[in-house]
Amino acid sequence: MTKELKVLLVEDSEEDSLLMLRELCRGGYLPYQRRVETAHDLRRALQDEQWDLILSDYRMPSFDAPGALEVLHESGQDIPFIIVSGKIGEDLAVAAMKSGAHDYLMKGNLARLAPVVERELREAEERRSHRITQEAVRRGKAEWEAVFDAVSDLIVITDADGVISRCNGRVSDYFPGGYQAMIGRRIDEIFFGSAQPEGQVFRFLHCMQSEVDEDISFPNLKGWFNVASYPMRFGGTERTGFVFIIKDITKRREVEEEKRTSDRELLTLYAVAFRLQYTQGVQKVMGDLLFQLHNMLQMEFSCIHLFEGGRLRLKASLGISPDYEKAAGVIVKGTQWSTLTLSGRPFRGDRPDQRFSARARSAALEMGLRSWCAVPLKIGQEVMGVMSVGTRSERTFSERDVFLLSSIAGQLAVLIENYSLYDRMKEKAEELYRSKEELRENLQQVKRANLELGRLNTVKNNFIGIASHELKTPITSILGGVEFLLKYSDIKMTPEQHNIFVSVYEGTVQLRRLVEDLLSISRIEAQGTLPQKRPSNLMRLCREAHDMFALPLSERHIGVRITGDETPVPMDEGLALLAVKNLLENAIKFTPDGGEVELQGRVLKKSEVNGLAKTVRPFYHGFPNGLAPASRCYLLQVKDSGIGIPAEERVRIFDKFYGIGDIGHHTSGGTAFMSKGSGLGLSIVHGIMDAHKGAVWVESAGDGKGSVFSLLFPIEEEGRLSG
């Protein structure tokens, strides 16, 4: 079978070239050849094509074989180089072989040419395969080492005696000496020093592949860890070393502890809220509340005092001794306990001290009271009493405990005040029968009392809103469970059962959306949002937000036009998308069926931004002061054709929980967006723009219809971005 062969001839004789090609044809090759006579032509030929073989005369008028070898070496190519010469001395042939020639032949004996070529081609292929293999091994080793060092856990390799032979780069985060300080030392010594008892952790794991189930703390490291061990074997079954994987689980433990605490607090709040719904009298409610505190928060002593005639009188208690009940039954005005209660601030201690009366302190010590905490019962600035709890243990009441108890005390105060208002209303109702003039006066008092009751209910609702961030985890569990039952469980359900599950799923999605809004506004206000800025395309984000509402837009036949400058804007994509989504959702909600929403963006120069001052200053006093320093800004406007916003309410709509008018002002469609929002969407947008050091405001779209919401993003100069 004829084999193709690309031959580069370094030869000045055309006749000799033809003889060599004829010999190659006899050997079963189909040669493609190019003949060169100078170093320049040889370099050009090596650059232009890939060659299988070079056949070179040793000496020519303007070139020779050593010069050709030097050019070949400069190119870096590995091509079989065979010298074919009329006559060459043995010394010259040996020197040529040492310089890199693979073989030499005499022109008078070309019968060996084909076998020599076949051998050199085979050896060249072997060298090529070897280089590829070596490169693969080197690359594989480099990739393995990169992965080894990138693992977030500590990986330590030891010999059979526990002496460290290698570890990954993660150790430098835990040990000051890093890698070099670990090598050659025993793993027990590194992690325990001399504190490890015999037979624990590392020494125990030497015996088998296993993992320590319980969490471990090392004397030489902060935090908690899990340790796993795996034996290494080479060429047989005998272990030659061990691989230890030490996982830092400190954050996981902290999260688990936080979850346990949050679950306990949520259950306590739920139980308290449930008990506060009782209508069997304030005395019964106070007793049930103390019972729940004992069960949920592991309290052993508790009591509630209310002010009557300037004195604190015991109204409910649980767990206290008869002597303490007598000693603390009435606390007169002017004592430390009474004064601290009237200050309206919680107070606590690790032992009964001088804040107790002498008799109360003696009785408290006798019944074993140690750690205690007292929180005032108050509404606004008015203090109506105090709730105190205590334990026999050495526990210390933390700020979080005090906050939880204060929240419960606030709700109890609201309930007590409600009962008090109810009793006063009854008294006034009886007086209605005695006098017509008193009737008018009592009606006014009842009206004022109802207003106060509404204010107190608002306080209660705000408290429940604060606690709603704790609902996210159970909501996620419910949502996941219902979604699994609906979509993946293959459980046969009747249509009624399926409709019930669909209703539960949709309701849970709405509840999750409300909780997410509450959590977003809470984080923005409490901690401040830290945007991760990078240059992004706002028009692309607008199109992504549009895609999220494709179904309601199609159902209500609302057209959306998105046009504008594609200039990259430094922003946090996630936060910016949330802001655009909230504005687009409002625009869809307020736009009637068949209407149109327009999103338009453009770049403003500094002078144009200053020209907006009159429009923006009702929303941001001193504008453009407060904006991030920038020579240009990007203005994104969302325009709807809805009912518009009254001028006197445009600034207030960015407040939390603020809504305009009744439900009729919050719906314009017949198929989607039919409910009043939470009142948090625009407040979240305002917080996002504050985080970007930008601005948001609203204007009328003109003709008394529609609104235009504007987002202003600063565009930093190139020097600021690169820095």
Give the pLDDT of residue 540: 93
Phi-psi region of 194 (alpha: psi -120 to 50; beta: other; left: phi over 0): alpha
Give the pLDDT of residue 665: 47
Kindly indicate the confidence band of residue 722, based on its pLDDT and cuts at 50, 70 and 90: very low
User: What does the alpha-carbon distance between residue 21 and residue 451 come to, in Å, rounded to a whole number?
Assistant: 112
Local structure of residue 59 (DSSP, 8 states) = B
Counting Cα atoms < 13 Å in the Cβ hemisphere of 698 gives 23
More confident residue, 66 or 275: 66
Local structure of residue 396 (DSSP, 8 states) = -
Tell me the per-residue pLDDT of 198-255, one tens digit each, with 9 for 90 and over. Answer: 545 565 454 444 545 567 777 777 888 888 888 877 655 565 788 888 888 888 887 7
Asked whether this chain's domains 3-130 and 151-248 adopt the same fold, the reply is: no
pTM tops 0.75, yes or no = no
Greatest pairwise CA separation for the chain in angstroms: 147
Question: How is domain 151-248 classified at the CATH fold level?
Answer: Beta-Lactamase (3.30.450)
Domain ranges of the chain: 3-130, 151-248, 262-431, 529-722
CATH: 1.10.3720.10, 3.30.450.40, 1.10.10.10, 3.50.50.60. Which one for 262-431?
A: 3.30.450.40
When mean pLDDT is compared across 402-416, 486-500, 657-671, the lowest value belongs to: 657-671
**Assigned token pair, 567:** 């200039």
Tell me the per-residue pLDDT of 275-323, one tens digit each, with 9 for 90 and over. Answer: 565 556 778 878 888 887 887 778 899 999 999 888 999 999 999 999 9
List phi, psi (to 5°) of 688: -65, -40
- Overall average pLDDT of the 465-482 stretch: 70
Tell me the per-residue pLDDT of 410-454, one tens digit each, with 9 for 90 and over. Answer: 888 888 887 777 667 777 767 766 767 777 777 888 788 788 776
Instruction: Work out the angle at residue 499's Cα, subtended by the Cα atoms of residues 496 and 501, and round it to the nearest 5 degrees.
Output: 110
Is residue 36 classed as helix, strand or coil in its secondary structure? Answer: strand
Q: H or E stretch including 75?
A: helix 65-75
CB distance 287 to 316 below 8 Å? yes
Tell me the per-residue pLDDT of 603-636, one tens digit each, with 9 for 90 and over. Answer: 999 889 989 988 998 898 888 887 888 889 999 9
CB distance 373 to 348 below 8 Å? yes
Does residue 720 have a pLDDT over 50?
Answer: no
Radius of gyration of the chain (CA): 42
Kindly indicate the confidence band of residue 669, based on its pLDDT and cuts at 50, 70 and 90: very low
Phi-psi region of 435 (alpha: psi -120 to 50; beta: other; left: phi over 0): beta
Distance, CA of 97 to chain centre: 65
List phi, psi (to 5°) of 602: -155, 160
Give the pLDDT of residue 597: 92
Counting Cα atoms < 13 Å in the Cβ hemisphere of 29 gives 21
Cα torsion 405, 407, 411, 414: sign: positive
Does residue 372 have a pLDDT over 80?
Answer: yes
Nearest partner of 240 among 183, 161, 166, 186, judged by Cα? 161
449 burial (CB, 10 Å; 0-12 / 13-18 / 19+) is: middle
Give the pLDDT of residue 710: 94
Q: In what order do the strands lie in the sheet with 301-308?
A: 330-331, 311-318, 301-308, 382-390, 372-379, 347-349
The helix/strand count (H/E) of the chain reads as: 24, 23
User: What does the alpha-carbon distance between residue 523 and residue 538 come to, in Å, rounded to a whole number?
Assistant: 24
Give the pLDDT of residue 403: 86
Residue with tokens 């606590």: 348
User: What does the alpha-carbon distance between residue 182 and residue 723 come to, in Å, rounded to a whole number?
Assistant: 38
**What is the CB neighbour count within 10 angstroms for residue 409?**
21
CB distance 348 to 356 below 8 Å? no
**Assigned token pair, 630:** 């920038």
CATH number given to 529-722: 3.30.565.10
Nearest partner of 187 among 215, 137, 221, judged by Cα? 221
CATH number given to 3-130: 3.40.50.2300
User: What does the alpha-carbon distance between residue 231 and residue 512 come to, in Å, rounded to a whole number?
Assistant: 48
Q: Name every residue whose Cβ is closer than 8 Å to that of residue 574 and which is 6 or more positions away in sequence.
A: none
